Amino acid sequence: MDSDILKKIIKGYFGRIVLNRNTPLNIIFFVTSKCNAKCKHCFNWKNIMNSNKRKELNLEEIDKISKNLKYLQSLTISGGEPFLRDDLDKIIELFYKNTSIVQVNIPTNGILTNKIEKLVENILKKCQHLYLRIGLSIDGLYKDHDNIRGYPGCFNNVISTYNKLYKLKKDYPNLIVSAAITISTFNKNKIKQIINYLEHDLKLDDYVLLLTYGHPRVKNAINVGIKDYIAATKIYKEMLKERNTSLPSKLFLYLTKFTQEVIVEGLINKKRKIRCYAGKKIIVIDDIGDVYPCEILNKKIGSLRKVDYNNKRVFNSKNCKNILNFINNKKCVCPWTCSIQNSLVVNPFQIAGFKLNNLFRYFKRVKNYFRL
């Protein structure tokens, strides 16, 4: 591991644990509500429809925000389509200079091939000790993908973007090229076909399965049953058995598989078995500076613009404490992958607890069976 990256990890850990326990580990930052696609499963479509009325945070504001988050370690850029912002490389450079981040994740529809290539290379040049993960959205093959994304030619564009990024990896080993399949009613019966393509036709570092959530643009997009999700995760796990990946990718894939188990447990029992750190160790900042605990729970913590971009005033507010109490009392159960993964990273002992609990339940079922 690069010594500069290790220093940032130690600085961030020390800052969060010793100096300021309320500092987030991960931020999901919606840099724009503008988008060039019309995805059927999009949960953010209402903001996208009104994007011209929303005054995006500018670089000066983002600089102030990042300076108040100096112990931050991971940043996910979201939208809208993040690469529609011409200054995306400058945004990431600000966080790189002002915080302790070691990884940035950028999901993208991959439509703007040349612009994505240029901005990604700029980021890698300016932030040499940063792991940059680009997550290409691939929800189907050819016209299936175009129909789901509401953009003719979207599939060809995203594959062109993949090819450009794959070439960049030769000069920038800290570039991670990933893919994400969002399972919806429109592709739930074609997951095996999609995974086969990702596994055998592309040379991705890794890929993930996501569930449609929230209130999507097309209402029935969310109609994915528990059996559909379990079937998809089984295909995913079988494919991963054949993989020979690097240690970081193996750890990421293991975390992904365990996250899927937690999601299945929540879907079946309607209960949350692990502690959720949304609103505490992971937060969402939208394009106008409003802060939320996560992407699903529509409870606004506060506005950074109203407190001169001082996140402590938002996190120490009575409203924030009330929302955290709501989450801590397990009032909500959700399939939001980002929050579950973050919670497991913050408190990895939960993995052992979850496994032991499931083992106990298994033996209890066996015992009851023999009593019959």
Beta pairing class for 175-183 and 131-137? parallel
Strand-pairing partners, residue 78, are 30
For the chain, give the mean pLDDT. Answer: 85
d(CA 253, CA 179): 12
pLDDT in tens, 204-240: 998 988 889 889 999 999 999 888 888 988 888 887 7
pLDDT in tens, 248-259: 566 666 667 777
Residue recorded with tokens 């033996």: 363
Q: What is the pLDDT along the chain (372 residues), one digit of tens a residue?
A: 555 655 555 555 555 555 555 678 899 999 999 999 999 999 999 999 999 999 999 999 999 999 999 889 899 999 999 999 999 999 999 999 999 999 999 999 999 999 999 999 999 999 999 999 999 999 999 999 999 999 999 999 999 999 999 999 999 999 999 999 999 999 999 999 999 999 999 999 989 888 898 899 999 999 998 888 889 888 888 877 766 666 656 666 666 777 777 777 777 777 766 777 777 888 999 999 999 998 888 899 999 999 999 988 999 999 999 998 988 887 677 766 666 766 666 666 665 555 555 544 443 443 443 344
**What is the reported pTM?**
0.84
Taken in order of first residue, the domains within the chain and their CATH numbers are 3-371 (3.20.20.70)
Rounded alpha-carbon distances, angstroms, from residue 6 to 9, 100, 129, 315: 5, 10, 10, 28
CA atoms within 13 A of residue 146's CA, in its CB half-sphere? 10
Residues 6+ apart with CB under 8 A from 333: 266, 270, 271, 272
Residues 6+ apart with CB under 8 A from 180: 107, 135, 136, 137, 138, 207, 208, 209, 210
